[in-house]
Amino acid sequence: MQQLIQPNGQPHYGIFPGTPATINYRDFDFRSPMGRRLGALSKWRSFHQFQYFGLISPTLIGGCALADVSLLTIGFVYLYHPESGRMIERQFKCPLGMGSNFSQTPNDGVCELRQGRNLLRLENGSAPFEKRLLVELDDGTRIDARFSEEQPAFQPMSLCTPTAVNGWVYARKVAGVHCSGEVRSALGNYDLRELNAYAHHDWSAGYMRRETFWNWACLSGETEGRRVGLNLSCGVNETSFTENCYWLDGQLVKVDTVRFEFDRDHPLQPWTIRSYDGQVELHFEAHGLHQERLNLGVLASNFKQIFGRFSGVLRPAGQAEVRIENLWGFVEDQYAKW
């Protein structure tokens, strides 16, 4: 598929075997809830895009995100050392996207934020299918991490769902892939291949709900001699289709809707995550937290990303159960108004 938006102004909907070459959102026939056609200014204000790259290993955990919500570009990066509990985290905000650049080509483009001597850069390459994270901070922290979807072969989750009365969201998810590169920081210097680190990646864009929330879970690692990755969500990308899935040795296994059970006032207490079809039954024990709060009236966010360890079981149809024992990963609880 070359373009997500068809000549009639409507998106292709569904779960795709591949990735659209271009998210040509300006060609969308965007209308008000009452059917009035909306122009370029409304399209710019209502289109949002974000990208996330996560690192997972028992020795070092990290995450970097960029989000373009038209009036503001937001970026964050953190590194967490589980053994010591030490953490490095930085946040950046660029009004009207100044100092940032976002590509609408998920497999071949660059998204980045520059502020002073700080750089957050996410590169997506098509030959080979490689994702790269480059972070350079003014305190000397440097992250250069990458993974490939070709060796061994990997099948991403790629889908587009209707959203609210007049929108849509495209998302591309990857988890359970080996990661290479290096990290230099006050927490130490690390070779990610030597750490046997894993990565996960999220590229999402669209005309999202003006006010929304979601819960999300992701893990990556090895269990019973198999590479495993997981991507589950509740509250977003659930109209007609869902992004819920896991990967066994790079092969995608689709999952039905899921339920997150946790104490919102005490998010570091244990979580339970179950799928309606019985394929997923997991418990999550928190070890650390990255959180942000923003309330500017027209824009607001209450974001908690919690890292810890999962235990439980995956039950792929026609295969033996896959036991999950203390695999590192993430959960999220987020409210957003944009």
Q: Kindly report the CATH number assigned to the domain that includes residue 224.
A: 2.40.370.10
Q: What is the pLDDT of residue 166?
A: 95
For 169-200, the pLDDT digits (tens) are: 999 999 999 999 999 999 999 999 999 999 99
For 238-272, the pLDDT digits (tens) are: 999 999 999 999 999 999 999 999 999 999 999 99
Q: Hey, what are 64's tokens?
A: 């970097």
Residue 291 lies in a domain: yes
Residue 318 domain boundaries: 14-337
Q: What is the pLDDT of residue 127?
A: 74
Residue 302 lies in a domain: yes
> Is residue 151's pLDDT more than 90?
no
Residue 187 lies in a domain: yes
Least confident piece of the model among 33-42, 119-128, 306-315:
119-128
Residue 3 lies in a domain: no
Mean pLDDT of 320-338: 95
Residue 1 lies in a domain: no
Mean pLDDT of 138-167: 93
Q: What is the pLDDT of residue 150?
A: 77
Q: What is the pLDDT of residue 83?
A: 93
> Is residue 96's pLDDT more than 80?
yes
Mean pLDDT of 311-317: 97
Q: In whole angstroms, give the CA distance from residue 113 to residue 55.
A: 19
Residue 222 lies in a domain: yes
Report phi then psi at 169, rounded to 5: -135, 130
Inter-residue contact 64 to 120 (CB < 8 Å): yes
> Is residue 152's pLDDT more than 80?
no
Residue 107 lies in a domain: yes
Q: In whole angstroms, give the CA distance from residue 255 to residue 102.
A: 31
Contacts of 25-30 with C-beta under 8 Å, sequence gap 24+, read 25/104, 25/205, 25/206, 25/207, 27/3, 28/168, 28/207, 30/166, 30/207
- Average pLDDT over all residues of the chain: 95
The winner for highest mean pLDDT among 126-135, 144-153, 306-315 is 306-315
DSSP-assigned letter for residue 25 = G
pTM confidence score: 0.95
Residue 205 lies in a domain: yes
Number of folded domains that form the chain: 1
